[in-house]
Structure 1
Amino acid sequence: MDELLTRNFCIIAHVDHGKTTLSDRLLEYTNTISKRVLTAQHLDSMDLEKERGITIKSHPVTMMYRAKDGREYKLNLMDTPGHVDFSYEVSRSLAACEGAVLLIDAAQGVEAQTVANAHLAFSQQLKVIPVINKIDLPSANLELCTKQLEDILTIPAEEAILASGKSGIGIEDILEAVVARVPPPRWREYAQTRILVFDSLYDAYRGCIAYVRVFSGSIKANDMMLLMSTNQKAEVKEVGTFTPKMEKCAVLHAGDVGYVVSSIKDPSEVKTGDTITIASKPAQEMLPGYKEVRPMVFCGLYPLESDDYEKLKAGLGRLQLNDAAFVYSSESSLALGFGFRCGFLGLLHMEIIQERIRREHDVEIISTYPSVIYKIVKQGGEVLEVDNPVNFPDPGTIIETLEPTITASIILPNDSMGDILALIMEKRGVCEHTDTLDMNRVMLRCVLPLNEILVDFNDRLKSITHGYGSMDYELGAYKADDLVKMDIMINGDPVDAFSCIVHRSKAEAKGRQLCEKLAEIIPPQMFKVAIQAAIGGKVIARDNVKEMRKDVTSKCYGGDISRKRKLLDKQKEGKKKMKMIGKVNIPPDAFIKVLKSGD
């Protein structure tokens, strides 16, 4: 087929603005999938994706469409993940396209991730086609949406297409706009073969399958390919396209989107954003935009039942096969036994992995408090990267501690602004810029420490704004601050599971809260047990576990007071001796209760 009749485009939007539903209507209209086979949210293959209404993995599909000009076009659609945690995957999917359909919910208008994704598309120099979706809703406000398009995204309102993914309004207009406005495949004239990997998948029988977009040249079975970031060679076993099932074909030409099955068995060797070329005539330069994806949020995962350790290990191994951004290594804790230290792209990524372990691998797990990667400059200039409080060095050897920050764009109603600014200040953030979007909403640009938004920031943002606030963020620079490691000691022994890295100004309040919680949860002991929060050698908070009381004077009836005193002193000596040699057994559910209360 003529390369000039190929169009590569993707759909970008804020979470829940109807991206996957619109994809269903496009598949239906182009007869790519018959109505008999089509299911709701057809491109979302996981139950978790359908339940939450989010796309986790990218799903490409090739459609054939006969336009009004009488010619048949090949349309390659890439359905991208919508959540901020997967922004690198979104950027690679955008890099594989020449155009983007930007969806805006007619009832909600432009949201934080609409702005972020639109800017991503502009930076990749894509042709953006604005589509105002859900126009059949009673609460649709088309006038506001077109005004926001011009004011916030600087896209002329007359370019917008009115549509509804649910009822099928405007589907033909969108397809015609893709054919007319999206340019044909770019960079076709490059002399050597260059192919972009925008995703990959692990198959138990065929090994690693790379999802690719061919920019120049071609690739077919039995070719010897070369991965440019690692210089690794591999033989191509099979190539094909998505319809949306994998369909084998003889060759992939410039402009095509499809898959490549090679002799590579380890998915970590095929990196998202890498460039594939032919080993006999390699390209001189990679396609732009490649970077190593590094996890930003870490937490410990432990099986609730120690017998499930091997099951958990196998489950994590399987999840890593289809998710190169997820990393794990084994660790052990005195309190929780054997488990794993896991790294994630962000909080949603962490939540999804934990949910998939529970569902797909049937292992009940407990996760420790999430933390980020801190950079610690020690005396002598050595820089340490610490993602686990246990590895925090001695305070006496530290010159400064740096923590990662984020630059957040928060869109919220005007009447919630005071409360949100108070929340940002509480989280040690700084509001740098305020834009008025329309009569009712403003957009704040602020810098916050990543550690502060890990647990409850998004929930509190939603509750303060009654669900109307939305946030998008990108990682910023590392900044120095007064951070300390806080240990929780029970009967003088530090407990690793509760150690955390906190800002000095918040350490006392957090320490007191943890001590109180533990004092409630740990059952009464035979002697008084001190629970202390300490920074270095200094105790900053303390509480006591109640001791069991035995009335040793009950057998004394009447008589001299000295007899009772003698029995009480004897009991006191016994308790003292017991405290010296006694051991506090903390029930496992105490850890679970404390860690859950921190969520």
Structure 2
Amino acid sequence: MKNIRNFCIIAHIDHGKSTLADRMLDITATVTEREKQDQLLDNMDLERERGITIKSHAIQMNHNYNGEAYKFNLIDTPGHVDFSYEVSRSIAACEGALLIVDATQGIQAQTISNLYLALEHDLEIIPILNKIDLPSSNPEEIGDQIIDLIGCTREDILLASAKTGEGVAEILDAIVERIPAPEGDPEAPLQALIFDSVFNSYRGIEAIFRVKNGVIKKGQRVKFMNTGKEYDADEIGTLKLVKDPQKQISAGDVGYIISGIKEAKEVKVGDTITSKESPATTAIAGFEEVKPMVYAGIYPVDTDEFEELRTSLEKLQLNDASLTFEAETSAALGFGFRCGFLGMLHMEIIQERLEREFNMTVITTVPNVSYYAYTKKDPDERLIVNNPSDYPDPAILERIEEPYIKAQVITKSEFVGAVMTLCIEKRGEIVGQTYLTSERVELTFDMPLAEIVFDFYDRLKTISKGYASFDYHPVGYRASNLVKVDILLNAEPVDALSALIHKSKAEDIGRKMCVKLKELIPRQQFLIAIQAAIGAKIISRETLSALRKDVTAKCYGGDISRKRKLLEKQKAGKKRMRQLGNVEVPQQAFLAVLKLND
């Protein structure tokens, strides 16, 4: 055990995590020349195209130090705020972390949030300044930022360039010297923490675990403590670039288990594996259930594909434990699913994966968050409102509470005014302002989650010319003055366009939605009234005029009554058509609501 090191890499998005992992694999000769490629651990097309890590990966390397052979288990982590659940799982399976900071950009919000996660788990931190080969790098000033942040000395900070490979060998030596060996008792009853799972269409679910105590052997009967299910360990092994089957894996090491599990629900991340014969008495303190932050409806364009969509979502869930979904129906869109996501990027990724991996064309409704409603009948009973259609009758509503977040924004000092204006416009309250250096400021806000769901991140990047970084974490629910805004087309409500909005903004947003829908809905043979309403009160109206044929074209002169008769006949036909006609709402109309500020 003294020659094992388990560590992860934490950094902000695009600070060079995946590139550094590539160089480490090269130097430790884990990959051959033929297998080499950029972003080796990012094996999804989407990850390569966007240059982000979506799914965390684990891989084992061997390193010689002072004539001794060491075994390194690297658990790569995503950097984007939406995937912080993946990061927390990876951190719990490690003893140390490499903190990577871009020497040209400095410390960003996500760096700080992941660093706090690592410190909570008492991980040994090795600070690394990356990209020192770039002419714009500033190791002196950014080194001072790291010293202020974690209280290390300048000698503790390693300088490296993941692109050229400079300084990577020193990082590997520092891992041996500074990160402690794992603790555990190989003689104790088996306890192994599941920190990830991957779905293999031929062999079922592969659970990836870290052994805390005891030994797991091939063919052994094992039990998952949280679900109470028992399985045979058909195959166990370590994770090289391809799986490396082993006879046994003992305390301190990381490995995978294949036992023919087909149901995603049976493998819970954070569960403890123990042996059937001599089980452990307690489970390892694992992870809490994932809490979705943003909800949206996903509907098949063709209603016959409903079951196909269910199968696709179930398969996606096997590879992404943080996706939740349940069936729902909509009057406008038919049968579909209400899905829970960790954030807007997560939602975008899932939608794209559905289209690419499963050839599903889907309609996504306006994203929203879940609220708590309390009625006058029973003020202690809490109703969960995931959808505007669940909103209780305002006459019996005692109060409604919405989720709040603590938002951290790090930006250049020249953009502080613009960032504050944006946050206050989004109903944020400023809690703190700290100058990290004379040029960089950290602003902390309390704000409603619903306000950042739509376009907050895009607008933040625009007003700060790309120099602001953003991170958030939930801080609970607070009472709020929300109303339900309905959109009516010819007096028929379109439930997919309903939204819960703060009263102060309801009329403004209702008006904008009507104007936007007038642009997007194609004109019909009959007149369409587009209205926004709060309860029975209409707050805005736009009229989409009918396409009409010039029925009087054939009347040359003659009595005016002939023309009037033709126009009256046309008017009666249009009226009848309006009673029978259906208005088709195009997909972009659902998404247009998100871009009301454009």
Q: Please, what TM-score do these two structures have when normalized by structure 2?
A: 0.94
Alignment correspondent of 1:66: 64
2:438 paired with 1:442 = no
Q: Distance in 2 between the 1:45 and 1:576 partners?
A: 58
Check conservation: 1:197, 1:276, Cα contact below 8 A: yes
Work out the CA distance in 2 between the residues paired with 1:260 and 1:71: 28
Partner of 1:598: 594
Contact 2:365 2:590 in 1 (8 A): no
**Structure 1 residue 56 and structure 2 residue 54: aligned?**
yes
Separation (CA, whole Å) in 1 of partners of 2:521 and 2:284? 58
SS in 2 for 1:241: strand
Describe the shift of the 1:158–1:304 C-alpha distance in structure 2 as closer, same or farther (beyond 3 A): same
User: 1:224 corresponds to which residue?
Assistant: 221
Q: Which amino acid in the other structure matches residue 237 of structure 1?
A: D
Deviation at 1:238, TM superposition (A): 1.4
Structure 1 residue aligned with 2:32: 34
Contact 1:199–1:272 (Cα < 8 Å) also in 2: yes
User: What's the secondary structure of 1:24's corresponding residue?
Assistant: helix
Match of 1:234 in 2: 231
2:145 corresponds to which of 144, 148, 158: 148
Q: Is the 8 A contact 1:311 1:361 kept in 2?
A: no
Q: 1:106 to 1:396 in 2, by over 3 A?
A: same
Equivalent residue number for residue 427 of structure 1: 426
Deviation at 1:552, TM superposition (A): 5.8
| Counterpart-to-counterpart distance in 2, 1:253 and 1:161 | 32
- Specify the alignment match of 1:121 in structure 2: 118
Match of 2:537 in 1: 538
Q: Any idea what the Cα deviations from partners look like across 1:463-502, whole Å, max 9, x if unmatched?
A: 1111111011111111110112111111111111211111
Say if 2:386 is the partner of 1:390. Answer: no
Work out the CA distance in 2 between the residues paired with 1:539 and 1:597.
19
How far has the Cα of 1:309 moved from its partner?
4.0
Indicate the residue corresponding to 2:278 in structure 1: 281
Say whether the 8 Å CA contact 1:130–1:161 is kept in structure 2: yes
Deviation string 1:414-434 (CA, Å, 9 cap, x unpaired) is: 111111111101111111000
Q: Which amino acid aligns with 2:152?
A: I
Tell me: CA distance 1:34–1:334, structure 2 relative to 1, closer, same or farther (3 Å).
same
Q: Whole-Å Cα distance in 2 between the matches of residues 474 and 72 of structure 1? A: 41
Quote the residue 2:365 is aligned against. 368
Paired with 2:7 and 2:588, the residues of 1 have a C-alpha distance of 46
Which residue identity does 1:598 align to in structure 2? L
Which secondary structure does the structure 1 equivalent of 2:580 belong to?
Answer: coil
Q: Aligned partners of 2:197 and 2:178: how far apart in 1?
A: 29
Work out which of the residue numbers 338, 341, 344 in structure 2 matches 1:341.
338
Mapping 1:191-590, distance limit 5 Å? 191-306=188-303, 308-379=305-376, 380-381=378-379, 382-549=381-548, 579=578, 582-588=579-585, 590=586
TM-superposed CA distance for 1:594, in Å, is: 4.3
Return the alpha-carbon distance in structure 2 between the equivalents of residues 561 and 35 of structure 1. Answer: 89
C-alpha deviation, 1:102, in angstroms: 0.6
User: Structure 1 counterpart of 2:77, which letter?
Assistant: T
1:157 equivalenced with 2:148 (yes/no): no
SS at match of 1:61: strand
Give SS of 1:598's match.
helix
For the structure 1 residues 531 and 135, does the alpha-carbon distance in structure 2 shift closer, same or farther, using more than 3 Å as the test?
same
Alignment of 1:7 onto 2:5? yes
Unaligned runs of 5+ residues in structure 2 are: none
**Cα distance between partner residues in 2 of 1:49 and 1:542:** 44
1:241-269 alpha-carbon deviations (Å, 9 max, x no partner): 01121110000101111111124321222
For residue 25 of structure 1, the aligned residue among 16, 20, 23 is 23
Whichever residue aligns with residue 33 of structure 1, its letter is V
Contact preservation (8 Å) 1:518, 1:594: no
The alpha carbon displacement at 1:513 in A equals 1.2
Q: Is the 8 A contact 1:268 1:324 kept in 2?
A: no
Give the letter for the 1:339 counterpart.
Answer: G
Q: Tell me the CA shift for residue 572 of structure 1.
A: 5.6
CA contact (8 A) 1:198 1:272 kept: yes
Structure 1 residue runs of 5 or longer lacking an equivalent are none
Deviates more, 1:340-349 or 1:409-418: 340-349
Partners of 2:430 and 2:465 in 1: CA distance? 21
Aligned residue for 1:202, secondary structure, equals strand
Moved more, 294-303 or 307-316: 307-316
Taking structure 1 as reference, are residues 543 and 182 closer, same or farther at Cα in structure 2, changes over 3 Å only? same
For residues 224-244 of structure 1, give each alpha carbon's deviation from its aligned partner in whole angstroms, at most 9, with x where no partner exists: 222222222222211100112
Q: State the match for 1:169 in structure 2.
A: 166
| Residue number in structure 1 paired with 2:105 | 108
> Matched residues in 2 for 1:484 and 1:536: separation?
9
Maintained 8 Å contact 1:133/1:165? yes
Contact 1:240 1:249 in 2 (8 A): yes
Give the length in aligned residue pairs: 593
Mapped pair 1:182 → 2:189: no
Deviation of the 1:409 alpha carbon: 0.9
CA gap 1:221/1:396 in 2 versus in 1, 3 angstroms: same
Secondary structure of the residue aligned to 1:14 is coil
Instruction: Indicate the SS of the match to 1:350.
Output: helix
Deviation sequence 1:358-405 (CA, Å, 0-9, x none): 111222222110011111112213211121212222111211111111
Task: Give the aligned residue type for 2:413.
Answer: N
Question: d(CA) in 2 for partners of 1:99 and 1:576?
Answer: 73
- Matched AA of 2:470: M
* 3-state SS of 1:259 partner: strand
Superposed displacement of residue 129, structure 1: 0.3
The residue identity in structure 1 corresponding to 2:121 is: Q
**Counterpart of 2:394 in structure 1: which amino acid?**
P
More divergent stretch after superposition (26-35 vs 555-564): 555-564
Q: Distance in 2 between matches of 1:570 and 1:52?
A: 58
**Conserved? CA contact 1:517–1:594, under 8 Å:** no
Change (3 A) 1:356 1:526: closer
- Give 1:72 deviation, angstroms: 1.1
1:86 — aligned with what?
A: 83
Q: Deviations over 1:62-97 (max 9, x none)?
A: 1111103x2111111111121222212211211111
Q: How far has the Cα of 1:570 moved from its partner? A: 6.5
TM-score (norm 1): 0.94
DSSP-derived class of the 1:4 partner: coil
Deviates further, 549-558 or 519-528: 549-558
1:554 Cα deviation (Å)? Answer: 5.7
Tell whether the 8 Å contact from 2:158 to 2:171 is kept in structure 1 after alignment. yes
Separation in structure 2 between the aligned mates of residue 261 and residue 526 of structure 1, nearest angstrom: 61
Deviations 1:333-357 (A, max 9, x none): 3333332221112212111111111
Q: Which moved more, 1:209-218 or 1:551-560?
A: 551-560
> 1:488–1:495: 8 Å Cα contact kept in structure 2?
yes
CA distance in 2, matches of 1:18, 1:520: 43
Distance 1:585 1:572 in 2: 18
CA distance in 2, matches of 1:374, 1:597: 20
